[in-house]
Chains A and B, each alone.
Chain A
Amino acid sequence: MPHDWEASRRRIGATIAGGVGIDRVPYFPIVCEEIICRISGKTFRELLSSPKIYGNAAIMTYEFLKADSLAIPTAYAGPAEALAFAEANNKEDVIKWSDYKVFMAKQGAICKTEEDIEKLEIPDHSKISLWDTCISAVDFVREKTRYPQACALGIWSVVQELRGVQAYRDMRKNPDILLQLCEKVYQSQMDIYNLFTERVGPSPTIFFTGYAFNKHMMSFDDAMKYEGQFIKRLQNETKAKIMLHNCGTSPYFDEVCDNLDVFAINGSHPLDIEYWVGFKERHPDITIVGANFDVSRELFSGTPLDVEEKVKENITHLASGGRYAVGPICCLPWGVSLNNIMAIPKAIKKWGTYPLQTL
C-alpha cells in the first residue's frame, strides 16, 4: 500500500492537538544521512548531486521506515552550518567528507581565535551550493508529498562546531566574545529561516536543536544566556512554534517548558519512564516525542521483541490523550539491525492504535 502522507500529517497534527480524531500514535524517527544512504544505496555526495535525488531518497527512506515524519536531515544547524561558515570564511579545508554519512568539521577550527570570531563572516546560504541543494530538496519533498516541512535551527550546536571546546573556556573567561559568536550564529540562523521561507514557504514550526540545555554541560542560567534568549528572539521574529530537541543524557526539559514557549520536546533522557509520566502531568499541553527510547540500548543490542516492549512501555504510559509520538533518540545509527528498526512501526500498529489497550 502506498504511504499516505496526508494521513501522517493528520496524525501528527491530531496528537499535538491532544488526540482528538487520532487513529494511532505517530512515529517520528530522526533519520540521518547514513540511514538514507543505507536504504537508498546512494553515497552522500550522490544525494547532494541534485535536490530531486536527495528528495526522492529521503522520501523512500521515511516510507520504508513507515514513519510519520519527513525531513531532509542535512538542512539543520549542525555540520551543514559549519560548512556554510567554513565556505563564507575560506576555511573549507576544515571539512572532512565521508562516503556514506554527513561530512564533519574539525571542531573549533573555524573560530580558533577571538579575532576569528570578530571577523567571522555570516554565510549567505543561497550562495552556498550545499544549502541551495538541501533547501531545494526540502521544497521538492514538500511539493511531491504535500507534507509540510519544518525549518531546523539551533545556536549552541553551531557554536560548538565553530569554537569547539574553547567555547566553554570563553563562558567563564570571556563571555562577551562568546555572546558575539552566538549573535553571529543567530544572524546566520535567520538567514536560513528567510531562505527557507522564500523557497519552501512559511515554517509554522521550527525543530530547534537546543544542545545547551544539558545539565552536564552548563547551568540553566548559562543555557538561557547562550541559547534560550535567542529562542525567545527567534519566536518574536518568526512567530513560529518550537519543538526543542536535546539528545543529551541530562536535559533541562522541565526548566525549558517552564521558561520557554515550546509545543513539543524531543529527547530520550532520563530513562526512567516515571519521570515522563510525571512530565506529562506537569506539562499536559506539551507533546513528548521520544521519552525513554534511546537508540543506544534496545535498538542497538536488543532483539526485535525488546524493541517492541520498549515501544509498548512508552505508548501505554504516555499516549493516552495524544501529545505523544514514538521517536527513538537520536539518529538511527548505521549499526542498528533493520529487524530492530522495523520492530518499531510493528509495535506502534499493535499497541498504538486508538483506543489504546489498557495497561
Chain B
Amino acid sequence: MNDDEILDELRDRIVEGISEEALDFIHKAIDANIDPIQILNEAIIRGAEEVGMKYEKGEYFLADMLLAADSINDCMDVIKPKLKEEKHKSPGKVLIGTPEGDLHDIGKSLVIALLQGQGFEVVDLGVDVPPEKFVEVAKKENPDIIGISGLLTVTISKMTETVTMLKRKGVKAKIVVGGGILSEESCKHIGADAWTKDGWKGVKLIKNLMEVN
C-alpha cells in the first residue's frame, strides 16, 4: 500500500465511522512515516468534511455523524502527540459548554468531536455551566471562540445572561450560540456574534470566524 492508499483508507474508515479500522490505518500511516500534518489534513480533516457533506445532503443522520466523530476522536488521540512534536499550530482554541439549566449535550458532543477533527483545541466545560464559570475559564484559557450550546427554549435567557456577563467582564472571544431553538432574531437578542442550528454548520461557522480554510 502506498501513502495515498493508506490515507484514502483512513479517510474512508472515518467517514464510515469504523473506529477500530480507522485506528489500524492511522497506525499504518505513522509506521509508514507519513507526515502527521499530512495525515491530519488529507485523511482526518477531509474525512470530517465528507461526513459533513453527507449530513447536509441528508445521506447521514446524527448516529452516523457521531460514529464518524468517535473515529475522528480516536485518531486524534493517536496523532496529537505527533502533531505536538511537529510543532503543528492549532487553528484555534474553542471553549464550549451548555448554559446553566440545560443538561442536553448531544449537540455539544458532536461539535467537540468535529472541531477536534479539524485540528482545533477544545476546552469542554460540560453541561449546566453557570455564567460565572464561562467567564472564569475564558479568562484563564483565553479562547478564540466561545460556544454555548442549548436545546431548550427556556435556556435562551441563560444564554443572554452568559453572553452579557462575558462581554461585561471584558472577554474578547467571539461567541457562537448553537441549538435548534435559535434564530437570527434570538441570536441578536442574546448578543452573540453568530448562531447555528446544527453541529456541522457550527463547525463551518467557527472555521469561517477563525478564517480557517
Contact A168 B66 (CB under 8 A): yes
Partner of A300, one of B66, B152, B185, B198: B185
Contact B157 A301 (CB under 8 A): no
Partner of A165, one of B66, B102, B183: B66
Which of A84-92, A99-107, A227-235 makes up part of the contact surface?
Answer: A99-107
Query: Quick check: is A164 within 8 A (CB to CB) of the other chain?
Result: yes
Contact A106 B103 (CB under 8 A): yes
Q: A300 with B186: in contact, given A164-B105, A172-B17, A216-B198 (CB under 8 Å)?
A: yes
Contact A333 B101 (CB under 8 A): no
Q: Which residues of B contact A296 (CB under 8 A)?
A: 153, 156, 181-183, 185-186
Query: Quick check: is A295 within 8 A (CB to CB) of the other chain?
Result: yes
Interface mask (B180-210 → A, CB under 8 Å = 1, otherwise 0):
1111011011000000011000000000000
Contact B180 A248 (CB under 8 A): yes
Query: Quick check: is B170 within 8 A (CB to CB) of the other chain?
Result: no
CB contacts between A and B, total, < 8 Å? 94
Q: How far is the CB of A109 from chain B (nearest CB, A)?
A: 9
How long is the Cα–Cα vector from A106 to B105 in the complex, in angstroms?
A: 9
Q: How far is the CB of B202 from chain A (nearest CB, A)?
A: 13
Q: A301 with B103: in contact, given A101-B154, A169-B67, A331-B153 (CB under 8 Å)?
A: no
Query: Quick check: is A34 within 8 A (CB to CB) of the other chain?
Result: yes
The residue of chain B having its C-beta at the shortest distance from the C-beta of A332 within the complex is B153
Query: Quick check: is B41 within 8 A (CB to CB) of the other chain?
Result: no
Interface mask (B150-165 → A, CB under 8 Å = 1, otherwise 0):
0011101100100000
The residue of chain A having its C-beta at the shortest distance from the C-beta of B101 within the complex is A98
Contact A105 B103 (CB under 8 A): yes
Interface mask (A285-318 → B, CB under 8 Å = 1, otherwise 0):
0000000001111101110000000000000000
How long is the Cα–Cα vector from A88 to B188 in the complex, in angstroms?
A: 43
How long is the Cα–Cα vector from A172 to B61 in the complex, in angstroms?
A: 11
Q: A331 with B189: in contact, given A104-B103, A172-B17, A248-B180 (CB under 8 Å)?
A: no
How long is the Cα–Cα vector from A292 to B66 in the complex, in angstroms?
A: 30
Which of A9-17, A202-210, A217-225 makes up part of the contact surface?
Answer: A217-225
Contact B181 A172 (CB under 8 A): no
Q: Which residues of B contact A101 (CB under 8 A)?
A: 101, 154
How long is the Cα–Cα vector from A298 to B185 in the complex, in angstroms?
A: 8
Q: Which residues of B contact A164 (CB under 8 A)?
A: 105-106
Query: Quick check: is A58 within 8 A (CB to CB) of the other chain?
Result: no
Q: How far is the CB of A61 from chain B (nearest CB, A)?
A: 15
Contact B67 A106 (CB under 8 A): no
How long is the Cα–Cα vector from A302 to B180 in the complex, in angstroms?
A: 19
Q: Which residues of A contact B157 (CB under 8 A)?
A: 333-335
Q: Which residues of A contact B128 (CB under 8 A)?
A: 96
Query: Quick check: is B64 within 8 A (CB to CB) of the other chain?
Result: yes
Contact B156 A300 (CB under 8 A): yes
Q: Which residues of B contact A248 (CB under 8 A)?
A: 180
Contact B153 A333 (CB under 8 A): yes
Q: Which residues of A contact B58 (CB under 8 A)?
A: 215
Contact B101 A168 (CB under 8 A): no
Contact A295 B63 (CB under 8 A): no
How long is the Cα–Cα vector from A164 to B61 in the complex, in angstroms?
A: 16
Q: Which residues of B contact A169 (CB under 8 A)?
A: 63, 66-67, 70
Contact B127 A107 (CB under 8 A): yes
Query: Quick check: is B62 within 8 A (CB to CB) of the other chain?
Result: yes
Query: Quick check: is B104 within 8 A (CB to CB) of the other chain?
Result: yes
Contact A34 B180 (CB under 8 A): no
Q: A107 with B153: in contact, given A217-B62, A301-B185, A301-B186 (CB under 8 Å)?
A: no
Q: Which residues of A contact B185 (CB under 8 A)?
A: 296-298, 300-302
The residue of chain A having its C-beta at the shortest distance from the C-beta of B106 within the complex is A165
Contact B154 A218 (CB under 8 A): no
Top 7 closest pairs, chain A to chain B, by CB: A335-B157, A301-B189, A301-B185, A171-B63, A333-B153, A168-B63, A296-B186
Q: 12 extra interchain contacts, Cβ-Cβ under 8 A, other than A32-B154, A165-B66?
A: A104-B101, A168-B63, A169-B63, A169-B66, A171-B63, A172-B67, A216-B61, A216-B197, A219-B61, A295-B153, A330-B153, A333-B157
Q: B: which residues have CB within 8 A of A?
A: 17, 58, 61-64, 66-67, 70, 101-106, 109, 127-128, 152-154, 156-157, 160, 180-183, 185-186, 188-189, 197-198
Q: A: which residues have CB within 8 A of B?
A: 32, 34, 96, 98, 101, 104-107, 160, 164-165, 168-169, 171-173, 215-219, 222, 248-249, 294-298, 300-302, 330-331, 333-335
